[in-house]
Structure formats: structure tokens, C-alpha cells
């Protein structure tokens, strides 16, 4: 697995400005150039700055990011795209890969995860020994909670509603295992 070339230029597409800028900064700190866009139109326009890699959030206010992925790749076939997907929504991930994305990322993704996704996306590891380890129930629960919580922008009440659990319970769970970040 080779690393991402240092002269790469990233295009970040996400509607959440805070998250986007934070990630952008993290990538810049690592010496990469970064351009950002908060929606499909801006993203297409940003192609003029010739990014080499793109990170696209699949779930944006103005519809799915899927058409954007298609358009980006159509316009710039050499552009390497990874998608940011909310929950482990495999279905749309699969769609995105079919459209030419090289990899996917689940939502709370930091700069290192992004770089790893690109590095890994460039070559399909055929030899990979899938010594499938069944994740423990506690672990999947934990990840799902984190994902939904992140998806609700940290809103505990909202997250508890979506998760179908009592707010007090979520609070207690979060107190037990402190959420990352």
C-alpha cells in the first residue's frame, strides 16, 4: 500500500462547514493542498483548480452526492474519489464504487483515515486474507451510536429518538464510554 503522493491536491465536498474546514486544516498540516466545496455546484467549479483527489459526502441537503460523483469522474476521469457515507449504508456505497469511486469512509473520519482510504483504494488487495472477525455486539452498538450521534450533530435527544432508545439511556451510555473526539 503506497502512500498518497505529497503533491496531491484534495477537494473536500461536505455541507458541514465546520467539519469541512477542520478536515481541510488537518490535511494542510500534513503538507497537502486543499480546496473545499459545500455542494455539487461548487464542487464542479472547483475542478478548475485541478484537484487530484476528492472526498465527497454522500448525504447532502441538496440530494444525494451520487450524481456529483458521477459528474466529477466523467469530467475528470483521473480524479480519485472516496465517498463519505453516513451509517454503514452499504447500498449507496456500492453504487458509488460502481460509478468509479475508489473507496469509502464512514462518517466520523479524520485526515489519517482519509489518506489511508486513498492509499488503499489504489490497489485491490486480492491476497487479503479475510480472517473475518465477528465484531462483538458491544462494538457494533458503540459504532452505530457514534455514527448516528455524529449524524445528529451531537444532538443527544435527536439521536436517542432515531436509535429508539431513551434519552437518559443514551446519556448514561455516553457517560460510560466517552465518545471519541
Partner DNA sequence: ACCCTCCTGCGGCAAGATGTCGCACCGCGA
Partner DNA sequence: TCGCGGTGCGACATCTTGCCGCAGGAGGGT
Residues that bind its own copies (CB under 8 A): 58-59, 63-64, 66-67, 70, 86-90, 92-95, 97-99, 102-104, 124-126, 128-130, 132, 134-141, 144-145, 148, 151, 162-165
User: Grid coordinates standing for 74?
Assistant: 466523467
**Rounded to 5 degrees, what are φ and ψ at 133?**
-110, 115
Interacting positions 154-173 with DNA (CB under 7 A): 154-158, 165-169, 171-173
**Residue 50 to residues 28, 34, 90, Cα–Cα distance (Å):** 16, 11, 30
Residue among 70 and 161 whose Cβ is closer to DNA: 161
Task: Indicate the residue among 9 and 173 with the shorter CB distance to DNA.
Answer: 173
Q: State the DSSP code for 180.
A: P
Binding partner of 156, given its own copies, DNA, none, CB within 5-8 angstroms per partner class: DNA
Q: Cβ 110 to DNA, closest distance in Å?
A: 22
| Residue 29 to residue 38: CA distance in whole angstroms | 21
DSSP one-letter string for 68-80:
HHHHHHHH-TT-E
The answer to whether the CB of 87 falls within 8 A of the CB of 93 is no
Provide the 8-state DSSP code for 54: E
126 grid coordinates: 486480492
Residue 55 CB, shortest distance to DNA, in Å, is 27
157 binds, among its own copies, DNA, none (CB under 5 to 8 A by kind): DNA
Residue 59: contacted member of DNA, its own copies, none (CB under 5 to 8 Å, by partner type): its own copies
Per CB under 7 A, residues contacting DNA are 154-158, 165-169, 171-173, 175-176
Amino acid at each position: 500500500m503506497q502512500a498518497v503522493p505529497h503533491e496531491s491536491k484534495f477537494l473536500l465536498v461536505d455541507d458541514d462547514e465546520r467539519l469541512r474546514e477542520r478536515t481541510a486544516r488537518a490535511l494542510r498540516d500534513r503538507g497537502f493542498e486543499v480546496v473545499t466545496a459545500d455542494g455539487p455546484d461548487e464542487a464542479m467549479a472547483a475542478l478548475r483548480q485541478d484537484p487530484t483527489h476528492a472526498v465527497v459526502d454522500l448525504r447532502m441537503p441538496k440530494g444525494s452526492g451520487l450524481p456529483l460523483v458521477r459528474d466529477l469522474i466523467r469530467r475528470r476521469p483521473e480524479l480519485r474519489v472516496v465517498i463519505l457515507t453516513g451509517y454503514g449504508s452499504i447500498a449507496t456505497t456500492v453504487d458509488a464504487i460502481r460509478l468509479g469511486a475508489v473507496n469509502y469512509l464512514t462518517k466520523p473520519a479524520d485526515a489519517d483515515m482519509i489518506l489511508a482510504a486513498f492509499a488503499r483504494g489504489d490497489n485491490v488487495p486480492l491476497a487479503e486474507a479475510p480472517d473475518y472477525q465477528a465484531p462483538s455486539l458491544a462494538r457494533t452498538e458503540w459504532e452505530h451510536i457514534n455514527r448516528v450521534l455524529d449524524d445528529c450533530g451531537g444532538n443527544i435527544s435527536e439521536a436517542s429518538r432515531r436509535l429508539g432508545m431513551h434519552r437518559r439511556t443514551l446519556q448514561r451510555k455516553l457517560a460510560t464510554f466517552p465518545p471519541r473526539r
